[in-house]
A and B are shown apart, each in its own frame.
Chain A
Amino acid sequence: MTLNRPRNTSSGVGRTSTGNGRSEGITPEQIAAINDLFAVHAKLGLLDQKTTIHHNLKGIQRFLEGIPGSTDKLEWYAPDGEDYDITRTDCEAKIVGCEFEDGELKDLVISKVHKPIIRRRTAEGKTRILQPALVEVTKRTENIEKEASNEPTKDD
């Protein structure tokens, strides 16, 4: 049994599989640009919310959502504040500062998102994950929930 890894997880990091069914028409640069745009949104979230730069970013976002030669769309999403457990496959997590009861990973929450979940959505509404989110996870407390809910997402 060879231990090759699935290509669309961060375990298979660094492997790009452009041109196949899942990511046809999408270049690694487009995915990288989406990650950059996501980071810009996150950083701007710390600044004055009234800034009109969001309008300019929206234009870039519309461009990146499109897939040349296809009616499919790309969408991305930050799962901030959502519950996390080890079996979530749309996130690659780093678990920080948790003491576990009975050795179990319970009551975990996504506290920070470094890369969003990127999905390809077909005209029929079917979605497939192109990139799992890269997240930090911690024990759920009220503070963290509040903090997480203040983090900007694509829809902000």
Chain B
Amino acid sequence: MSDEVGSAAETEADSEPVDESPTLYERWRQIHDNESTVAALTILGVALAPFVLVTLPTQLGLPSEYSWYHNLLTLTLIWGIFALGYDLLLGFTGLLSFGHAIFWGTSAYAAGIFSANVTGSPLAMILVGTLTAVLMAWIIGWISLRRGGIYFAILTLAFGQMIYYIFLSPLGDITGGENGFTGVQVGSLFGVVDLGRAVPFVPEAFVDSWMYVFVGAAMILSVVVGYRILNSPYGAVLRAIRENEQRAEFVGLNVWRYKLMAFILSGAFAGLAGSLYVIQRSFVPIENTLNWTVSGDIVVITVLGGVGSLFGPVFGAGLYMYVANIVSGMPVIGEFWHMILGIVFIAVVATMPHGIWGRVDWLRDRVADAIGGDER
């Protein structure tokens, strides 16, 4: 399998920018899908988000009850990674899983319990959490992927509920049951960097703590890896499966194996995100990790952002987090935030069939046309 992924680098080498065409549009067309451009855009986005969403609104005098705060941005990136991985499955392979809480949740518990008993090193926690999620995805994918469509969705949901109850009661002594796991002990990164601390030489207006840098780095890495997967022959096979599973099979591809691998990859992203979630909170609440509502949330986030796009789910996570954490704290309307989320969801689905990112793409094309791309 790895040999196929390896060839991705060559594919990208072909799309290196060539400095021949003078128009801005041409140049943009050449580089805008390039891996380093994607990485640069992600870095820029992650680096500027705190300034644009937290500092600027405050300085412009936006009342604090409408504005973002640093922890929430970190949380959004974490959910963004989760959603990005989910979209690999839903958007690019065409599999609707209703059990992704399993991978997010078990990795959170694994990382949390590991930190309490072995070591609190954030990287070790991520490793343990992600491996747990991969293992779970392997087992559950292996069983559930024997069926497609609604049967697959229901099977994953059933597994999700099963694991939720196992963690709630029979394993209650280890997991803390309904109280959640409270013994998380997050240590410092490489033994020196305390994630809660400020980053020296960087103004708070941009980055408030190492935690954001850490999670931001994970986000950038996830985007790059996601991009690689999608632009490799492997990604092409996944899309072929999404478009027509039978045809892919007739061509001679082992469809089941590809689907299982997509499921595991997506589980790994969920595992990374779940471990980061525990590192950020130092607490594993069961309702927000293993409960089936999490599996629903991630579908909502992905659809809001735009199914089948790389960046879309991150924006979906942002919108969802804003409604769930900021609108819910506003006076009067706060109590109806679930309803508001429903209305937002309907509005997005009705007016933006490809989610927020679909609209951004559309706008980008308009702008590109205006700059001078009429030969298209």
A is bound by B? no
Which A residues form the contact surface with B (CB < 8 A)? none
